[in-house]
């Protein structure tokens, strides 16, 4: 008997006992759907999180001052930044100064955040200006009251995105600084800060009653507003070659230690974004595989159900087996007939489970606002799992049917 005939008989048997077949597939359907949904959502979440980090620049490095170890003379100066910029391994470097205060426009009062940096800040953030421009070196040197706003903040403060040449009043310690907006960026995140999430967090401090806004300004303006010295606890660097992040970080670190003569103290922490990417990728993969493995337990339950129903089917069709063997059917023919039926039963259940798993993953991805990542390997996994279950749990019933003596089979009622 050829494969086509085996498939035809298997489908006829499944259709004849449709309800029983569907109940038998249920374990396979649930198991495959669970595994596919977990893997798909896991892949989408991993791609989303890693994508956010990559938007910050895969060749980005941060150097932070350890406040517990450092003295005031160990903090990073403008001269340090200029010296690091001269290194062959460094492409861009900017200080990172965060100042919290309040913002106001003609019609809106808001919680405000200033992110201060130099002209390299534009290369270290994850968005280009959709309106206007970034501040220039001349504006930085003069500490001009100009700033670049992200589109989310612009809509919060003005109700629209294009707000170039509008003004924002920033208040810090009861001193008001009038800042002119010269650019609007489509920035989704900067230095690991998601603008929409940050806006929501800032609003929570005001009990949800106030709007919020974020501006990128020259760090020379930030120090004027706060009255602080021109020293920084954090700088961000973009390496000239993303394959030499460690070299760029070590070169910058050694430059700082040499200039401040503090080799004997652990004053600085160097972190590169590639480390976060590799670590997150590993953690999410391990977590996804673990959850998928737990979900796959239901596949074993489904496989046992398939084995049980195949044994029942063989008992019901004992005389059929006896007649076929009496007419010359080979043992291998009977074996492959029932094995094919088991595989098709599991394969149909696997395909249904695949569709339900993808649908469930799409729903979860929509609710979690992460991309849906259905990969070919996921589809292959569903089909492979289903086929494997059909083979593993179908072999015993098929062998039992194939080895049944024809005389004994014909005697059964």
**Tens digit of pLDDT per residue, the chain (413 long)?**
567 777 787 788 778 778 888 888 888 888 888 888 888 887 777 777 666 665 555 567 889 999 888 888 899 999 999 999 999 989 899 998 888 899 988 888 888 889 999 999 888 876 678 899 999 999 999 999 999 998 888 888 888 889 999 999 999 998 999 999 999 987 644 444 444 555 455 455 444 445 678 899 999 999 899 888 778 999 998 888 777 778 888 899 999 999 999 888 889 988 876 666 667 777 777 877 777 777 677 777 778 888 888 777 777 777 777 777 777 777 777 777 778 888 888 888 888 888 888 888 888 877 877 777 777 777 787 778 777 887 887 787 777 777 777 666 556 55
Whole-number Å distance between alpha carbons of 407 and 319:
10
Helical segments of 56-164, H only: 78-85, 121-124, 137-142, 151-158
Domain end call among 214, 232, 266: 266
Q: Do 31 and 144 fall into the same domain?
A: no
| Contact status, residue 185 vs residue 129, Cβ threshold 8 Å | yes
Q: Is residue 275 part of a domain?
A: no
Domain end call among 237, 266, 295: 266
Buried b (16+ CB within 10 A) or exposed e, 348-368: bbbbbbbebbbebbbebbeee
Q: Is residue 255 part of a domain?
A: yes
Q: Do 261 and 286 fall into the same domain?
A: no
| DSSP-derived 3-state class of residue 56 | coil
Q: Is residue 204 part of a domain?
A: yes
Q: Is residue 106 part of a domain?
A: yes
Q: Do 125 and 184 fall into the same domain?
A: yes
* pTM, two decimal places: 0.56
Whole-number Å distance between alpha carbons of 164 and 46:
36
Q: Do 252 and 337 fall into the same domain?
A: no
Strands 129-132 and 193-194: unpaired
Domain end call among 231, 266, 301: 266
The dihedral region occupied by 132, where left means phi > 0, alpha psi between -120 and 50, and beta the remainder, is left
Q: Give how many domains the chain has, as a whole number.
A: 2
Cβ-Cβ contacts under 8 Å for 363 (sequence gap 6 or more): none
Q: Do 84 and 192 fall into the same domain?
A: yes
Provide the residue range defining the domain that includes 382: 3-52+282-411
Q: Give which of 196, 226, 214 is closest to 157, Cα–Cα.
A: 214
């Amino acid at each position: 008997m050829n494969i086509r005939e085996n498939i035809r008989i298997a489908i006829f048997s499944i259709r004849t006992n449709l309800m029983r077949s569907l109940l038998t597939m249920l374990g396979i359907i649930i198991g495959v759907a669970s595994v596919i949904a977990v893997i798909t959502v896991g892949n989408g979440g991993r791609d989303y999180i890693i994508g956010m980090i990559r938007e910050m620049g895969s060749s980005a490095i941060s150097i932070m001052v350890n406040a517990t170890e450092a003295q005031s003379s160990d903090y990073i100066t403008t001269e340090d930044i200029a010296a690091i910029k001269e290194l062959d391994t460094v492409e861009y470097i900017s200080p990172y100064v965060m100042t919290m205060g309040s913002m106001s426009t003609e019609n809106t009062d808001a919680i405000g955040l200033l992110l201060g940096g130099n002209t390299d800040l534009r290369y270290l953030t994850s968005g280009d200006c959709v309106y206007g421009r970034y501040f220039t070196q001349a504006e930085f040197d003069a500490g001009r009251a100009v700033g670049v706003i992200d589109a989310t903040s612009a809509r919060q403060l003005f109700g629209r995105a294009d707000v170039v040449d509008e003004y924002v009043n920033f208040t810090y310690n009861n001193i008001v600084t009038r800042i002119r907006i010269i650019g609007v960026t489509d920035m989704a995140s900067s230095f690991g800060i998601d603008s929409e999430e940050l806006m929501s967090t800032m609003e929570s401090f005001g009990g949800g009653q106030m709007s919020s806004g974020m501006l990128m300004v020259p760090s020379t303006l930030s120090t004027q507003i706060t009255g602080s010295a021109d020293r920084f606890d954090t700088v961000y660097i973009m390496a000239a070659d993303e394959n030499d992040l460690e070299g760029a970080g070590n070169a910058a670190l050694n430059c700082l230690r040499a200039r401040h003569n503090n080799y004997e103290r652990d004053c600085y922490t160097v972190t590169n974004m590639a480390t976060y990417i590799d670590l997150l990728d590993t953690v999410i993969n391990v977590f996804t595989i673990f959850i998928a493995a737990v979900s796959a337990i239901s596949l074993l339950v489904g496989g046992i159900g398939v084995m049980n129903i195949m044994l029942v089917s063989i008992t019901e069709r004992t005389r059929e087996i006896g007649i076929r063997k009496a007419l010359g059917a080979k043992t291998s023919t009977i074996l492959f007939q029932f094995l094919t039926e088991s595989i098709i039963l599991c394969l149909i259940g696997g395909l249904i489970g695949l569709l339900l798993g993808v649908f469930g993953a799409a729903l979860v991805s929509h609710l979690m606002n992460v991309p849906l990542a259905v990969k070919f390997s996921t589809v292959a996994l569903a089909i492979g799992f289903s086929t494997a279950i059909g083979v593993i749990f179908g072999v015993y019933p098929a062998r039992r049917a194939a080895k049944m003596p024809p005389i004994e089979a014909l005697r059964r009622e």
